[in-house]
Structure 1
């Protein structure tokens, strides 16, 4: 397991799901940019109630930073190219909320 911090933008909307044990969790994707300008997708799952609430409050393309356990992966796109990806079990979230006056 790798502990890490990932910053990027939410890709789509966070989704509520229910496990076989009846417990709720939230999944989402975060699009992060690497140092060389490439994009990497982070597949996020959150079991913590506070993290779930924060992710569900976000909209597509909102900025987010997450810390948690990372697992590197690869996937194949429709052109047959192998691309990197990361799975994350999110433990903490940092989001920028708009203030209302």
Structure 2
């Protein structure tokens, strides 16, 4: 398996399914462009409820980016010709909706009165780092001319 990040457009409608043991999962097909002007399909399966819900909110032709484990495979078509295939077990989904929501959130934080002020981090205000190195300590290089 290969850890991968892919981007493409939804092909068809994603579907929610239930396995024989009662576990829910989501399947989808994504069409990705290649560098030579062609395209290929990636079969996607997703076991995460959050990522699955994001996929189910999309329709055919919607842009999507997926992160997960990519597995190359080969299948045989009706004429007996071997064709490449890619299967992905998706762990995370990013859609234009997520990007727009994040942008709006950032813009809402900016009051428009000038440049944004740095925000305090999780542990309070960021403080400049103080060097603990003595500037006059012997560096072991000897005296310089």
The residue aligned with 1:21 is: 21
5+ residue gaps in structure 2? 101-145
| RMSD (Å) for aligned C-alpha atoms | 1.7
- Structure 1 residue 84, shift from structure 2 partner: 2.1
Cα distance in 1 for partners of 2:85, 2:46 equals 17
Bigger CA radius of gyration: 2
The TM-score with structure 1 as length reference comes to 0.89
Of structures 1 and 2, the one with the larger relative CO (CA 8 A, separation 6+) is: 1
> What is the deviation of 1:91?
0.3
Give the TM-score taking structure 2 as reference length. Answer: 0.63
- 1:21 match: secondary structure: coil
Q: Name the residue aligned to 1:63.
A: 63
Partner residue in 2 for 1:93 = 93
Number of aligned residue pairs: give it. Answer: 99
Higher percent of residues as strand: 1
Structure 2 CA distance for aligned equivalents of residues 61 and 75 of structure 1:
25
Structure-1 separation of matches of 2:52 and 2:17: 11
Residue of structure 2 equivalent to 1:72: 72
Distance across 2 between alignment mates of 1:78 and 1:33: 24
Cα-to-partner distance string for 1:11-56 (whole Å, 9 max, x where unaligned): 0000011011101000000000111122111000000011000000
